[in-house]
Amino acid sequence: MFTTATTNIDRRMAEIVEKVKQGERLTLEDGVYLYESDDLLTIGQLANEVNLRKNGKKVYFIENMSLYFTNICESHCAFCNFRKDQGEEGSYTLSGEEMIAYVEQHITPGVREFHIVGGHNQHVPFQYYVDSLKALNDRFPDITLKAYTAAEIEFFTRISGLSTKEVLTELQKAGLKSLTGGGAEILSDQYREKMKVEKANVDQYLDVHRTAHKLGMKTHTTMLYGSIESHEDRIRHMIQIRELQDETGGFMVFIPLSMQPRNKNAGIMRRNSAYEDLKTIAISRLMLDNIQHIKAYFINIGVQLTQVALTFGASDVHGTILKEQISHAAGALTPDGLTRKELVWLVKGAGRIPVERDTFYNEVQVYE
């Protein structure tokens, strides 16, 4: 029998509890109510119940490596501290051979995925991005290429003159197997205008993933929260993802990304609270009933809070990563990667079962 953590919940919360018990879909109004409620324990317990139904006590991770071919970018998004202008100190554009040399220097045994994102570098042609993947695929054919955000794909259509389908097809020929989730930020064109998100708009972001799904790719998706958006903006974001998932079934995981303050020395008032992070993960689990996994991203919320998030609806802790740059350029204080042993420890410490996976959530090893 499902019981709530708090004994005196109000009528509105009781209605939502009953919906969750019956497996009914939550509405926009339900989601906004949950954000405005201070009953974090009940929200967390509801999310935990949903996650246990979907995934049991298994929590997934992957041995992967983050790669960044270029940090030169035409966009000037207000929240980004990773981008550089051409010729600016610290800017770079790596060739395929240079990236292979970097990988060979830093790769660890067991890596099965390259997570590849970067700037929208208008000083190189689309073929550069194709050749970058091909070089990696030729040298490391057994490692899955999860590459580029939907915003990068939209950028590629502009510099190449090709359609979204044509761009994705060319990248697939070079070895692309899945898209990363970045570039979503908040799926509101008003938000994107205020935050100077000078890249794919809402319809373009969704259409790239729709097209990828139609081409047989399974992809990832994100939400960057904690700046100017309202609670309603966040829930509308989730609902748009949920509706596309109803249409295509192509999303494997939803990743709430906690906004970083662009300065490692920023005080706690410039960072999202643990309360807000846990509530967002839990509400994501409750709203996105048709997506199998919700990720707790330790890079943004920290290792110990990630452990707690595993009882607030999260079933994935990402991966080893190895030298993450984007969140750390924006002021993240967390480790830039973890080892397999540390990830197993993290999950077991939360009373869950660690499962090493591949990109597509096929189980590689269960650590009972």
Q: Which residues are annotated as a binding site for [4Fe-4S] cluster?
A: 73, 77, 80
85: left (phi over 0), alpha (psi -120 to 50) or beta: beta
Give the CA dihedral 19, 21, 23, 26, nearest 10 degrees: 30
- The 3-state DSSP class for residue 238 equals helix
Distance CA 366, CA 344 (A): 10
144: left (phi over 0), alpha (psi -120 to 50) or beta: beta
Please tell me what DSSP assigns to residue 38.
-
Binding site: what residues are annotated? Answer: 73, 77, 80
- The 3-state DSSP class for residue 207 equals helix
Long-range contacts of 162-168 (CB under 8 A, 24+ apart): 162/126, 164/207, 164/208, 164/211, 165/211, 165/214, 165/215, 167/126, 168/208, 168/211, 168/212, 168/215, 168/217
Per-position b or e across 97-116, b if 16+ CB within 10 A of its CB: eebbebbeeeeeeebbbbbb
